[in-house]
Structure 1
Amino acid sequence: MEFWGIEVKAGQPIKTGPGVNRVIHLSQATLGESKNKAESVPLYVNVDGKKLVLGTLSHQNFPQLNLDLVFEQEFELSHNWKNGSVYFLGYETSVQEEGYPFYYF
């Protein structure tokens, strides 16, 4: 198990993904520094051409968001905040050949 983290800057979506026989467990999203504390920042993930909202961050109410998502393929992280970066944290780990985390019968 290895720490995994990425900074998504304003207007720069990032594609990332695990290596062969690995998964990324996304566990937290956090707002970077900002002078404008009143904005809400929606977070997005794009997997297989489907763009989904992970949640919304706010410096005043929710500066970080706990997540429990596992990705076994490439995905794209983005946000629409023009004044700063969002940091995504988690870990990357290897998986058994049978499939993660379930066995298929």
Structure 2
Amino acid sequence: MEFWGKPLKVIPEEDTLVHISQASLGECKNKKGETVPLYVKVGNQKLVLGTLLSESIPQLNCDLVFDKEFELSHNWGKGSDYFVGFKSPNIEYP
């Protein structure tokens, strides 16, 4: 998933989980060490997922699992952010 300055709303399909495993910065217009906070919003709670630095920390690993609607966002105006993950079935074990 890539998004440019606009929140990205993700709605998992029924009985499906969405795993987010990595976030990274795309190519930026200006390479001075800017901080880029990444946010995730679930329901009415908006939380900081992490902070990236354009020069020294351009990516972060995470292990997030969502079974309901969530929104990813950032406030960086000089480039895009990428999120890597996958979908899997939500299997309930007896």
Identify the match of residue 20 of structure 1 among 10, 14, 38: 14
Q: Aligned letter for 1:82?
A: G
Moved more, 48-57 or 88-97: 88-97
Structure 1 residue 48 displacement after superposition = 1.1
Matched residue pairs, number? 93
Listed one character per residue, the Cα deviations across residues 35-58 of structure 1 (whole Å, up to 9, x for unaligned) are 322211000000011000000011
Q: Which runs of 5+ in 1 are unaligned?
A: 1-5
Identical aligned pairs, as a percentage? Answer: 54
**In the alignment, does 2:65 pair up with 1:70?**
yes
**In the alignment, does 2:79 pair up with 1:84?**
yes
Q: Is the contact made by 2:21 and 2:85 (CA closer than 8 Å) also made in structure 1?
A: yes
Mapped partners of 1:83, 1:59: distance in 2: 10
Mapped partners of 1:76, 1:51: distance in 2: 9
- TM-score norm. by structure 2 comes to 0.92
**In the alignment, does 2:26 pair up with 1:36?**
no
Mapped partners of 2:3, 2:66: distance in 1: 17
Alignment correspondent of 2:54: 59
RMSD: 1.3
- TM-score norm. by structure 1 comes to 0.83
Structure 1 residue 96 displacement after superposition = 1.4
Mapped partners of 1:17, 1:93: distance in 2: 13
Structure 1 residue 97 displacement after superposition = 3.7
